[in-house]
Amino acid sequence: MKTEPKHTTKSPAICIIGAGKMAYNLCHAFSSSGLSNICVINRNHTHLKELSTRINIKHLSTDYKDIPKDTSLLLIAVSDDAIPLVAEKIQPYVPHSSVVTHCSGVLPITILQNFDAFGLFYPLASMSKEKFTNFQQIPIIIDGNAQNSIQFLQTVAAKLSPKVYRLNDGQRPFLHLAAVLVNNFTTHIIGTAFDLLQEHQISKDLLSPIIQQTLENVLKFLPHEIQTGPAMRFDIHTLDKHLELLDPSPTLQSIYKLITKSIIKTQMERKDFTKQEREKAESILSQLK
């Protein structure tokens, strides 16, 4: 039976594999929090050089053999598809005392089970190289294969953010899916709305107040309870007019139909409708097929 390695949290040596958006923001967050003993390893020298011009990192390398022997926390900050291969390649060079983590919201921690101590370090945010994420305002999701690892990751994460949560392999993919819905899907829909306005010489600035109001409302109230719009009112004339306007854009028209049907069905499940209201809702649903 293996003995759980002990991990120092006083001034942990941190090694980050990767030089993309996640690595950029992790480096900045750790440095800003006083955790400056950082090594970054990436096979692409140009990407490393770009990172070093933005953030002062003590150790940079393109060789996995240069993983420091005193590494306490190793973060594999690469694309999900690349994580298993990177984990395999670095295994011979990772010290016994390291907690090896990946930063994926979808992959299980068990893909790192060949290491003595392993887990997850997943900052829930949309990362960019242009503007560093303020980790004090975002949650960090952690998990680990043993109690020592979990406690260590909890302590390190708490240095970056007051919002640290442990979610298991079964829970995290649902969080990631929900994040895609509220972030990526919402961004796409707003983008299509802007394109629609631009096509008809209307300033997108006119939408700024309602976008702001919507975001404030969904965070303050239960979204389903404050839902408004023609679908909620069973306003078939407005729905028909919108669908007519979207005739030149069949993809957007399909999205409009799909979301409209979802709104109506959700409200039918949540509210007690009169017979007349239910018949009207079902009539609209049949017309949206």
pLDDT of residue 270: 83
Report how far residue 181's alpha carbon sits from residue 170's, in angstroms, rounded to the nearest whole number: 18
pLDDT of residue 7: 56
Distance of CA 215 to the CA centre of its chain: 18
In this structure, what token pair is assigned to residue 23?
Answer: 């690595």
The single residue listed with the structure tokens 């420091």 is: 68
* Cβ count near 185 (within 10 Å): 12
Return the HEC string of the chain. Answer: CCCCCCCCCCCCEEEEECCCHHHHHHHHHHHHCCCCCEEEECCCHHHHHHHHHHCCCCEEECCHHHCCCCEEEEEECCCHHHHHHHHHHHHHHCCCCCEEEECCCCCCHHHHCCCCEEEEEEECCCCCCCCCCCHHHCCEEEEECCHHHHHHHHHHHHHHCCCEEECCCCCHHHHHHHHHHHHHHHHHHHHHHHHHHHHCCCCHHHHHHHHHHHHHHHHHCCHHHCCCCHHHHCCHHHHHHHHHHCCCCHHHHHHHHHHHHHHHHHHHHHCCCCHHHHHHHHHHHHHCC
For the cut 80, the answer to whether the pLDDT of residue 4 exceeds it is no
For the cut 50, the answer to whether the pLDDT of residue 1 exceeds it is no
Least confident among 103-107, 261-265, 277-281 = 277-281
For the chain, the residue count is: 289
pTM score over 0.75 = yes
Identify the CATH number of the domain defined by range 174-287: 1.10.1040.20
Q: What is the tens place of the pLDDT at every residue in 112-134? A: 999 999 999 999 999 999 899 99
Smallest CA-to-CA distance from 121 within 96, 142, 135, 145 is with 142
Question: What's the whole-number average pLDDT of the chain?
Answer: 94
Report how far residue 67's alpha carbon sits from residue 61's, in angstroms, rounded to the nearest whole number: 9
Q: What is the tens place of the pLDDT at every residue in 237-248? A: 999 999 999 999
pLDDT of residue 150: 97
Report how far residue 156's alpha carbon sits from residue 2's, in angstroms, rounded to the nearest whole number: 24
Q: Are 61 and 71 in contact (CB under 8 A)?
A: no
Smallest CA-to-CA distance from 102 within 58, 258, 115 is with 115
pLDDT of residue 273: 83
Identify the CATH number of the domain defined by range 13-169: 3.40.50.720
The single residue listed with the structure tokens 């939408």 is: 207
For the cut 80, the answer to whether the pLDDT of residue 2 exceeds it is no
Residue of higher predicted confidence among 9 and 262: 262
Q: Are 123 and 135 in contact (CB under 8 A)?
A: yes
pLDDT of residue 8: 54
Structural domain boundaries in the chain = 13-169, 174-287
What would the mean pLDDT of 237-261 be, rounded to a whole number? 96
Q: What is the tens place of the pLDDT at every residue in 39-95? A: 999 999 999 999 988 898 989 999 999 999 999 999 999 999 999 999 999 999 999
> pLDDT category, 179, cuts 50, 70, 90?
very high
What would the mean pLDDT of 140-151 be, rounded to a whole number? 97
